[in-house]
Amino acid sequence: MRAHIERELKGYAHNIHDEISGGISGVIIQLENIKRTLARVGDEKTVSDINLVILSATETLEASRRIANKLRPSLLDHFGLAAAIDQMLKDFQIRYGVNTSLVIEPNALISKNDKQKLSERQCLEVFRIAQEVLNNIIKHANAHHVDCEINGELEHVIFTFKDDGCGIGWDAVQGVGIGGIKIRALSAHGSVSITPLCPCGTMVKLKVKVLNNDAHRQEG
């Protein structure tokens, strides 16, 4: 069921990107052409009005891209999990003013034979977990810094998120978001722990099992 839902989301994201975003981009280009024509004849009032429409269309275009990225991150499909998490943290910092950092241990996600350690499904589940972790930080933590580390072991990849917020309360631990994180961790053949930090903050540690080649193919 979860895989079916993700396929549907991928289709919706592609439709938004190709049809809606592409259509808006075309409208902006046409408006720019009209604006240049009107500027040559000195119609400053209409040019000013068109600039407002272009601004509105550009904001709508950016919104459509954000929605498409939430449904299915294109970076994850094209450049992999590390790049997708890196961009997610950068966007989080820009949007909420929370400083972020990412440290990736060499070969944490790549095996000795240059193969991805995690399957496509595992990468998607980890990405969704990272989204939910950041969402919980904004809702509950009032943090100023969020640090992420990705480390590799022989049979596991470990993702650690730390914040310097006010700590996570029992209500949040019992909430839907944390429950969803635990379900996704199991789906990724992993486990998750959530612990308080001293003197403040919370650490979320996700440990994902590296599957063998046969299991990779079954995960697809």
- 60-113 pLDDT per residue, tens: 877 777 776 666 667 787 788 999 999 999 999 998 999 999 999 998 998 877
Domain parsing of the chain, residue ranges: 2-72, 76-219
Alpha-carbon distance of 140 to 134, in angstroms, equals 10
Whether the Cβ atoms of residue 196 and residue 202 lie closer than 8 Å to each other: yes
In the predicted structure, residue 1 carries a pLDDT above the cut 60: no
* Cα-Cα-Cα-Cα dihedral sign, residues 2, 4, 8, 13: positive
- Write down the pLDDT at residue 218: 53
- Write down the pLDDT at residue 160: 97
Q: Is 9 exposed, middle or buried (0-12, 13-18, 19+ CB in 10 A)?
A: middle
Alpha helices for the chain (secondary structure H) = 2-15, 22-40, 44-71, 74-79, 81-96, 120-136, 170-173, 176-187, 213-219
In the predicted structure, residue 12 carries a pLDDT above the cut 90: no
- 16-38 pLDDT per residue, tens: 555 677 788 888 888 888 888 88
Q: Give the residue-averaged pLDDT of 50-69.
A: 81
pLDDT averaged over every residue in the chain? 83
- 153-205 pLDDT per residue, tens: 889 999 999 999 987 654 555 554 678 889 899 999 999 999 889 888 999 99
Alpha-carbon distance of 66 to 87, in angstroms, equals 12
- Token pair 């981009």 in the structure block, residue: 25
Check whether domain 76-219 has CATH 3.40.50.300, yes or no = no
In the predicted structure, residue 11 carries a pLDDT above the cut 70: no
- Write down the pLDDT at residue 134: 92
Q: Say if strands 202-209 and 190-196 run parallel, antiparallel, or are unpaired.
A: antiparallel
pLDDT confidence bin for 129, thresholds 50/70/90: very high
- Token pair 């498409």 in the structure block, residue: 68
Alpha-carbon distance of 37 to 95, in angstroms, equals 37
